[in-house]
């Protein structure tokens, strides 16, 4: 099994990963290994012993990789993924009418993000070609767009935020004459909730016949559901469904116990709704060396919807299920905000804000003030070229009041140059500034006290 080490991680985190995984060898480019050695107290042997005979094939009981995710205690936890779920995922790709076709595919995801496996092995299994960008290409949307055009990339896997940035870079590129067209035919978004923004609609309006795939799956299972958006991008829903389960996956919506059922809630539906439980041949073995954490999330002998005891993974994600089995992601159960007695889904406010002509991106939080009260706060990125009248807190509040209840209108607004992201490209909610940034020099945006 392999454990990817991202040199962008803090030294303490890298040391904890090496200690917990008890790695026997570290493989890498010489310069990267020297950097790693200079930062850590001790490093295993850099040369793996040569096997005496032919390299064995992986067996069903073997691990393929261990990926470390953030732990609630602050120490990362290693998700130990076995062969069967990944073999099933690769087989699903091979038989997919579009994703099973050979394609030039950009290997965008860092190795510390589980999508890297899907990118690499689905491409190799279908006879495709991997295009390898460097870190500068990954971080700069304009450079990424240029690389995609130059290398005639046909398939791309991107988290929502990176896709939004690429869409903006493509729009900027089309303002210049002689720009190389993009060859994208399939774009797969995963890792966080997909939102179909005006920029993304415009991008797919310029891509003839391209399909946007929305994939869902936590690190503990990899991809478990899929949904396709094709045809007129102008008719796509703002929040697409995450789709239906892959053939080797079982899903179950476990009712969420609400101790405050009498309190108002931001969402209500006639369709089935609850915490998404995952079963079937898609579950990781658990958290490496952490039997306690494994027992909390991987529930053995739990009676499912049919009453038969089985092993299930509790995602902590809230979903809604339509009669045809299509699932829609509603947010994290632990990201629900409770402000002044109201339960609030921050995604509802974020979507309403991003529909405003002056706002490009938005994230809503509810930090706790020194007096213990929680204050609904919107972190926004302004849309370039928007009118000054569309860049005021007064305009944003009036916009929201026409669309949301008063208790869902943020009290504070923070204007950011861009949203902070994790190394895998997801929105880094923990990295949002706690203090309110100063207003732009133009004075068009004021910060309420």
* Same-domain check for residues 355 and 367: yes
The region of weakest confidence among 206-220, 226-240, 241-255, 336-350 is: 336-350
Query: CATH number, domain at 216?
Result: 3.40.50.12780
Residue 444 domain flag: no
Rounded distance between C-alpha atoms, residue 307 and residue 426, angstroms:
37
For the segment 22-76, what is each residue's pLDDT rounded down to a tens digit?
888 888 888 998 899 888 876 765 555 555 666 677 777 889 999 998 654 557 8
What's 439's DSSP letter?
Answer: P
* Same-domain check for residues 329 and 341: no
How many percent of the chain have pLDDT more than 70?
A: 85
Q: Give the mean pLDDT of the chain.
A: 85
Question: What is the phi/psi pair of residue 146, to 5°?
Answer: -65, -40
Q: What integer pLDDT is reported at residue 408 of this predicted model?
A: 85
Question: Which residues constitute the domain of residue 205?
Answer: 82-334
Residue 224 domain flag: yes
Rounded distance between C-alpha atoms, residue 245 and residue 225, angstroms:
4
For the segment 95-154, what is each residue's pLDDT rounded down to a tens digit?
999 999 999 999 999 898 899 999 999 999 999 999 999 989 998 999 999 999 999 999
* Same-domain check for residues 166 and 303: yes
* Same-domain check for residues 328 and 341: no
Residue 10 domain flag: no
Q: Does residue 214 have a pLDDT over 70?
A: yes
Whose CA is closest to 3, among 18, 161, 16? 18
* Same-domain check for residues 236 and 341: no
Mean pLDDT across the stretch 295-313?
A: 92
* Same-domain check for residues 201 and 266: yes
Domain count, the chain: 2
Rounded distance between C-alpha atoms, residue 400 and residue 322, angstroms:
28
* Same-domain check for residues 330 and 354: no
* Same-domain check for residues 254 and 397: no
How many CB atoms lie under 10 A from the CB of residue 58? Answer: 14
Residues facing residue 380 across a β-bridge? 362, 415
Is residue 271 within 8 Å of residue 322, measured between CB atoms?
yes
Residue 73 domain flag: no
Q: Is residue 421 very low, low, confident or very high in pLDDT (cuts 50, 70, 90)?
A: confident
Q: Does residue 261 have a pLDDT over 90?
A: no
Q: Which of 282, 300, 334 is the last residue of a domain?
A: 334
Residue 166 domain flag: yes
Q: What is the pTM of this model?
A: 0.77
Q: What integer pLDDT is reported at residue 437 of this predicted model?
A: 40
């Amino acid at each position: 099994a392999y454990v990817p080490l991202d040199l962008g991680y803090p030294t303490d985190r890298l040391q904890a990963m090496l200690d917990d995984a008890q790695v026997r060898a570290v493989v890498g480019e010489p310069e990267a290994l020297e950097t790693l050695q200079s930062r850590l107290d001790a490093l295993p042997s850099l040369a793996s012993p040569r096997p005496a005979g032919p390299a064995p094939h992986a067996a069903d009981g073997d691990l393929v990789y261990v990926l470390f995710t953030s732990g609630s205690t602050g120490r990362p936890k290693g998700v130990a993924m076995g062969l069967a779920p990944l073999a099933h995922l690769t087989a699903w790709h091979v038989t997919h009418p579009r994703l099973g076709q050979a394609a030039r595919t950009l290997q965008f995801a860092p190795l510390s993000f589980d999508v890297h496996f899907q990118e690499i092995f689905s491409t190799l299994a279908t006879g495709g070609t991997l295009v390898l960008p460097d870190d500068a290409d990954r971080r700069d949307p304009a450079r990424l767009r240029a690389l995609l055009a130059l290398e005639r990339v046909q398939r791309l896997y991107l988290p929502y935020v990176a896709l939004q940035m690429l869409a903006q870079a493509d729009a900027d590129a089309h303002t210049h004459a002689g720009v190389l067209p993009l060859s994208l035919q399939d774009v797969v978004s995963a890792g966080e909730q997909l939102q179909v923004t005006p920029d993304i609609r415009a991008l797919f309006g310029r891509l003839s016949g391209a399909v946007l795939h929305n994939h869902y799956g936590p690190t503990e299972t990899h991809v478990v559901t899929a949904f396709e958006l094709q045809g007129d991008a102008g008719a796509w829903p703002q929040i697409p469904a995450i789709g239906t389960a892959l053939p080797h996956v079982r899903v179950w919506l476990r009712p969420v116990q609400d101790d405050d059922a009498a309190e108002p809630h931001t969402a209500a539906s006639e369709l089935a709704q609850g915490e998404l439980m995952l079963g079937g041949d898609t579950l990781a073995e658990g958290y490496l060396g952490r039997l306690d954490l494994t027992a909390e999330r991987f529930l053995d002998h739990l009676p499912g919807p049919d009453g038969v005891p089985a092993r299930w993974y509790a995602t902590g994600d809230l979903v809604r299920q339509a009669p045809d089995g299509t699932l829609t992601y509603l947010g994290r159960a632990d990201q629900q905000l409770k402000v002044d007695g109201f339960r609030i889904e921050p995604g509802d406010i974020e979507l309403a804000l991003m529909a405003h002509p002056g706002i490009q991106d938005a994230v809503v939080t509810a930090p706790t003030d020194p007096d213990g009260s929680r204050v609904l706060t919107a972190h926004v990125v302004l849309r370039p070229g928007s009118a000054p009248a569309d860049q005021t807190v007064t305009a944003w509040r009036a916009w929201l009041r026409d669309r949301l209840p008063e208790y869902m209108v943020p009290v504070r607004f923070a204007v950011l140059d861009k949203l902070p992201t994790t190394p895998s490209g997801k929105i880094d909610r923990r990295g949002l500034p706690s203090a309110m940034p100063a207003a732009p020099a133009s004075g068009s945006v004021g910060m309420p006290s």
